[in-house]
A and B are shown apart, each in its own frame.
Chain A
Amino acid sequence: MILDWLVVVLLVILSLTILLARDLFWVVASFITFGLVLTLAWSSLQAPDLALAEAAIGGGLMTLFLIDSLGFSDPEQTSSAGGFPITKLQGLTALGSMIVAVPLLRAFWAGGAVSPGLGPLVEQKIELSGVEHPVSAVLLNFRFFDTWFEMTVILLAIVALQTLRGRTPRGDSLPSGQSDQVLTWFARLLSPVLILFSVYLLWRGKHAPGGAFQSGVVLGAALSVLALTGYQDFLLRSPVVSRLVVTLGVVGFSGAGLFPLVLGGELAELPSGWAGDTILIVETMAALSTGMSIPYLLVALQVPKDKVQCEERTS
């Protein structure tokens, strides 16, 4: 309970730091710490799946993307735009949201209505799902649609980023760390361990916390570390293959979702006999494509070098 209070106080302090800090680096650093403390909150709420995902995404990947954007930003104007000017409309919004918050807070602290939720129902039907871990069962069978369109959202983000960028991403626009011996050595040491761990998480997801997304994100972290330290061949050598891997997740989920229609079932109704095998195949495809998507997103975030130089010359 003391740990819970500590986590809660830290979360509030960190969110206030994000709100009030002038220096941009402080904002990003507080947000990373916020993600890590939130991991503790998830484990305190007995949600180890969320703790895994939050540690990998909130503490890991968002860090990568935010620090990368921090390097892109101009140091002199980051400090000038840190003000706190509240207009009338913004003040009214803040006031209004606080008024809404009061009954919400009271409802929570009054104890709230006790409803059994969907937990018992999931437990009752879990044998039909093909997996033993309830969260995986909900994610990959009972609420198949959610995960299907989650994969679609990741693919959409990549397509949108590439459209914004105007050219197909090329790995060579990433800053290369090959000259740094320590970094390269550490990346070589770290990435096989990460890849092995991602396979372990994928396999474990069937009966324990873990699964396609956590595994995919860890794989993506490994590939991003490789791409950032100069090993970009997997993105460059055969762009067609890497693009196909990126689409694997949506292909797998669409296949598994639409195939029951051929057999005369409902959309996304996994056949009960082979549900376990279907889920394993779909999960593997999803993990591979999530893993490949992350270095892709990182590369697509970069503004092409020639474009920057071109505009510098004209200005």
Chain B
Amino acid sequence: MSSSALFGGTGIIIFLVGLLGTFSLPHLLKKIVCINVMGSGVFLVLAAVGNKDVGATNDPVPQAMILTGIVVAMASSVFALALARQIAHRSGFWLLPEDREKL
């Protein structure tokens, strides 16, 4: 198996694990971490598509897009953390209002 197929497949699995976590974990900090895991899965798939195993040059366009993606994901995660901290600060729980009702 070529390394791009290997990493692409892993990217899909990691994306799924992150998706499951985002939907099923009520804790907001865990949700944010899981969204980041999902993003990493997408980046892996994109890099695997751009990776040429035998060819002389790798495709630089997906790499540049992932680089942009990593920075943008960081910025939006920090914003999400700030929102979650406001929720925790005001309500005393790291939970969305609808999850709090289930407690």
Residues of A within 8 A of B (CB): 1, 4-5, 8, 11-12, 15-16, 18-19, 24, 27-28, 31, 34-35, 38, 41-42, 44-47, 49-50, 53-54, 57-58, 61-62, 65-66, 69-70, 72-74, 77-78, 81-86, 90, 93-94, 97-98, 101, 104-105, 108-109, 111-112, 116-120, 122-123, 134-135, 137-139, 142-143, 146-147, 150, 153-154, 156-157, 160-161, 164-165, 213, 290, 297, 300-301, 303, 308
Contact = CB atoms under 8 A, between A and B. Distances in A.
Interface string B7-39: 111101111111111011111011001101100
Given A45-B7, A111-B5, A150-B68, A157 B78 contact: yes
A27 to B, nearest CB: 6
Contacts of B88: 72-74
A94 B19 contact: yes
Contacts of B76: 153, 157
**Size bracket of the B interface:** 35 or more
A122 B27 contact: no
Contacts of A101: 12-13, 15-16
Nearest to A151: B71
A169 to B, nearest CB: 11
A118 B62 CA distance: 9
A70 B52 CA distance: 40
Contacts of B40: 34-35, 38, 58
Contacts of B48: 45, 108
B95 A81 contact: yes
Contacts of A98: 16
B47 A42 contact: yes
Contact of A19 (B34, B79, B81): B34
